[in-house]
Structure 1
């Protein structure tokens, strides 16, 4: 379980206006008991981001959340939230299949 995702350095307004996902909903999905982690994110160009797929009770949806590890001298350890959206059919299927096992 992740205690905190730091959303302060990134475009939270963009995430909400574009995807209607609030930081709290994305963090809730990251902390889902059936969460899936893909590290690194297979769709990442840089190979630095992590794709997390989980359920948000507040959003009542499976969400895909992109995180960056914040393990630096300045940031300490933790995670930066990059983006989040309602999962597409592929990510939703992955989540449901894993949750059923």
Structure 2
């Protein structure tokens, strides 16, 4: 489970400034990721099959953002690692109800 998600200041700033690294990307507010963790329809992949470090992938809706977010979480201390606006297969899975936790 992913109760207790938190962000250190460096990682929070990293997701707030995604568009600096990825032109056209959406900047993400850390509070939005907390909303995504509370989404009753969220998908939790623990461990994330795409992670080499065993991180957790959470896909959930943020009402404040108005879209679905993908959040990557450290499985040990539940710290946020990164987050982005969900697209592709993860968005299809969320919209289709696949893999609910």
TM-score grouping bracket, smaller chain normalisation:
0.7 to 0.9
Aligned to 2:12: 12
- Size of the aligned set, in residue pairs, is 92
SS in 2 for 1:6: coil
Deviation at 1:31, TM superposition (A): 1.1
Deviation at 1:5, TM superposition (A): 1.3
1:34 to 41, 45, 57: 41
Question: What is the alpha-carbon distance in structure 1 between the residues aligned to residue 85 and residue 30 of structure 2?
Answer: 13
Q: Hey, what's the Cα distance between the residues in 2 that align with 1:37 and 1:86?
A: 16
Q: Distance in 1 between matches of 2:16 and 2:94?
A: 22
Q: CA deviation at 1:9?
A: 6.1
The alignment's TM-score, normalised by the length of structure 1, stands at 0.80
2:23 aligns with: none
SS of residue in 2 equivalent to 1:15: helix
In structure 1, the gaps of 5 or more residues are: 72-78
RMSD: 2.1
Report the Cα distance in structure 1 between the residues aligned to 2:7 and 2:64, rounded to whole angstroms. Answer: 18
Output the CA distance in 1 between the equivalents of 2:10 and 2:79.
8
- Which residue of 2 is the match for residue 76 of structure 1? none
For 2:45 and 2:75, the matched residues in 1 are separated by 13
Name the structure where strand makes up a greater proportion of residues.
1
CA gap 1:17/1:83 in 2 versus in 1, 3 angstroms: same
Alignment partners' CA distance in 2, 1:3 and 1:44: 20
The one of 40, 62, 67 equivalent to 2:68 is 62
